[in-house]
Structure 1
């Protein structure tokens, strides 16, 4: 059942994103059922109960039996009361009349009232939501089970709109899937220096970085419809989920079927530092985080010959100022020599950004793979294992690492002036770019030399591995 007149009630922001996009016709069947659901009818106790908890009202009847509660409700649909359990004194039960029977639910309170996952400010709201849910699930059980089988998401432009917004930029994707081989007819040979580099670097293409939606439980004010299946999102509170990065609104069951096509909205991204890497690059439509690009450009412009680059610390107070500038101004942040004469401040800000990523550049999922690769004794097999790991990185992580290693390789070409070789840089960037998933101090200490070796090998073999 559908009604086009209800489309204005949806609160959907997606339908207005394209001029020629026709708004979907929202399915109003579940909305109509919610309107038909029984209304709560509080059954009050005629006398004051001394044992009544302060967070309940006159609906509390003290310690009464199930049978007596059933009598008090008098068969009125939606009638409810609260009683103290005879079987478990000190616990409280909500007695609710629905479907010509009395239902009993164990009640809890922790500052809010709840029976299941949802928490309510008042018993009246809890009962209202419960009656809506019971009524809709009773009347439309079969309809709900089929609700996700014919989604509007793929038929009315949602997917294509999101894809179009994500591919309006040229991004470098993964290298080709073939392996870089360092052996020929069983004989170990030195890795070729130019062949793979030319092949890999020529592989540029439009690449839309896939990103899963960041769904969180949400309470919608006013009627809302699911932007996946077009059905009403029923209930009084916590009716569904909203992606905190792009604003997509869906039922909980529909969220499992939405593709990994989240296109973050800059209006929803509150900061640059500590923001998920893929989320940031998609929000800003860049192949890499602008922090990485801007800091590296500034360092290469005036800092490559600076002694102890990346090893010497800048003043932490000034580094925090740079962080705040990026969070506040994004790619308009001023990190020029006029603002920060000491290049170590910019280098420190870059390291802080990489350190603050919620998922490191070398992701938690691949951490052990890179550590195990570093432990391989044979140099050629070790490089192959590292290369295989690189191919598994998410595209935004791969591109950020590639760009950073190209820069660090350039830093080592000025070793005579800055005294920073690949090993020194590996010591600095190892714990910054890769962290153990369990974050235990012992694991970190045990792995430090392998973290250093991984980054050292990535820098030394940058021309072959990327």
Structure 2
């Protein structure tokens, strides 16, 4: 039977806080056909891998070596190895958080901390673009230095560079924060005219997001709510932020300009609803 609304998110929240030092997000292995030099045994069934070339598959995130047949039965327990994860941007979100053993991508935490420390009153926050070359610099700093990246005011006095770097992080994700799998369900929910039913529908789809995506979205919405609380200084309300973040957080699975244009108002509405109701939804 269905849980009453609100209960499921409470259960999920309890699960998230339950084990703070180790985030048990499930992750599938990223298997690629591999040619092993010298004799090799499958780490799943412990049997020999026959043949001279392409004897099996290796997970490029954690290095697990198994038979091609066995790869279908391996549980979703990939623990990415930092040595194998070469970059921070353009890396799958769950892979990144598992490699760093964090709850959310550290880019998100570090950028939001910086923006809340010195940018909440900045006019047109998130709408005004920062200088592209400087945004690229920030991206390279994260890829190179990870959580030690310095994005402080003495290097980047313009806060729009930090907001730009955060938006770029979301745009560069191979799977958007609002995943391809849930995209059409969110759009359908946005089309419901009754506000209460719409909120209920949005909540149901939120529960389908992978935990790392859900947690990232939750954290971002709490932040964007703070941005709207400073509207009299920054002139950014939930609708303005929806226009900026709609296409940043969600992209249609099939890349068609027509779909994108058609869906833009619903993308905006989804983000607007998430910001305005973050306390109820998450």
- Residue equivalent to 1:277: 93
- Residue equivalent to 2:207: 391
In structure 2, which of residues 117, 127, 142 is the aligned counterpart of residue 301 of structure 1? 117
1:268 counterpart SS class: coil
Q: Residues 255 and 308 from structure 1, CA distance in 2 versus in 1: closer, same or farther, beyond 3 angstroms? A: same
Distance between the aligned counterparts of 1:179 and 1:448, measured in 2?
31
- Residue equivalent to 1:287: 103
Distance between the aligned counterparts of 1:295 and 1:180, measured in 2?
32
1:368 aligns to 2:181 (yes or no): no
- Residue equivalent to 1:180: 5
Cα distance per residue 1:169-209 (max 9 Å; x no partner) = xxxxxxxx83426xxxxxxxxxxxxx999887666212400
Count, aligned residues: 277
Distance between the aligned counterparts of 1:278 and 1:197, measured in 2?
20
Native 8 Å contact 2:43 2:64 kept in 1: yes
Native 8 Å contact 2:238 2:275 kept in 1: yes
- Residue equivalent to 2:254: 438
1:312 counterpart SS class: coil
- Residue equivalent to 2:18: 205
Query: Where in structure 1 do 4 or more consecutive aligned residues deviate above 6 Å?
Result: 195-200
- Residue equivalent to 1:314: 130
Distance between the aligned counterparts of 1:201 and 1:406, measured in 2?
14
- Residue equivalent to 1:13: none
Asked which structure has the greater RCO (Cα within 8 Å, sep 6+), the reply is 2
Distance between the aligned counterparts of 2:76 and 2:12, measured in 1?
26
Q: Which has the higher helix share?
A: 2
Deviation at 1:401, TM superposition (A): 0.2
Native 8 Å contact 1:196 1:464 kept in 2: no
In structure 1, which of residues 407, 410, 422 is the aligned counterpart of residue 223 of structure 2? 407
Bigger Rg, which one: 1
1:242 counterpart SS class: strand
Q: Residues 364 and 197 from structure 1, CA distance in 2 versus in 1: closer, same or farther, beyond 3 angstroms? A: closer
Q: Residues 348 and 240 from structure 1, CA distance in 2 versus in 1: closer, same or farther, beyond 3 angstroms? A: same
- Residue equivalent to 2:145: 329
Q: Which has the higher strand share?
A: 1
Cα distance per residue 1:135-191 (max 9 Å; x no partner) = xxxxxxxxxxxxxxxxxxxxxxxxxxxxxxxxxxxxxxxxxx83426xxxxxxxxxx
Distance between the aligned counterparts of 1:419 and 1:391, measured in 2?
32
Distance between the aligned counterparts of 1:253 and 1:439, measured in 2?
33
2:203 counterpart SS class: helix
Native 8 Å contact 1:422 1:460 kept in 2: yes
Distance between the aligned counterparts of 1:457 and 1:313, measured in 2?
24
Distance between the aligned counterparts of 2:170 and 2:10, measured in 1?
28
- Residue equivalent to 2:158: 342
1:252 counterpart SS class: coil
Deviation at 1:297, TM superposition (A): 0.1
1:216 counterpart SS class: strand
Cα distance per residue 1:191-243 (max 9 Å; x no partner) = xxxx9998876662124000000000000011111000111111011000000
Distance between the aligned counterparts of 2:276 and 2:243, measured in 1?
14
- In structure 2, the gaps of 5 or more residues are none
- Residue equivalent to 1:241: 57
2:69 counterpart SS class: helix
**1:97-176 equivalent positions in 2, closer than 5 A:** none
Cα distance per residue 1:252-278 (max 9 Å; x no partner) = 000000000000000000100000000
2:18 counterpart SS class: coil
- Residue equivalent to 2:43: 227
Alpha-carbon RMSD across the aligned residues, in angstroms, is: 1.6
In structure 1, which of residues 423, 427, 437 is the aligned counterpart of residue 243 of structure 2? 427
Native 8 Å contact 1:430 1:455 kept in 2: yes
Native 8 Å contact 2:183 2:251 kept in 1: yes
In structure 2, which of residues 157, 173, 177 is the aligned counterpart of residue 357 of structure 1? 173
- In structure 1, the gaps of 5 or more residues are 1-176, 182-194
Deviation at 1:439, TM superposition (A): 1.3
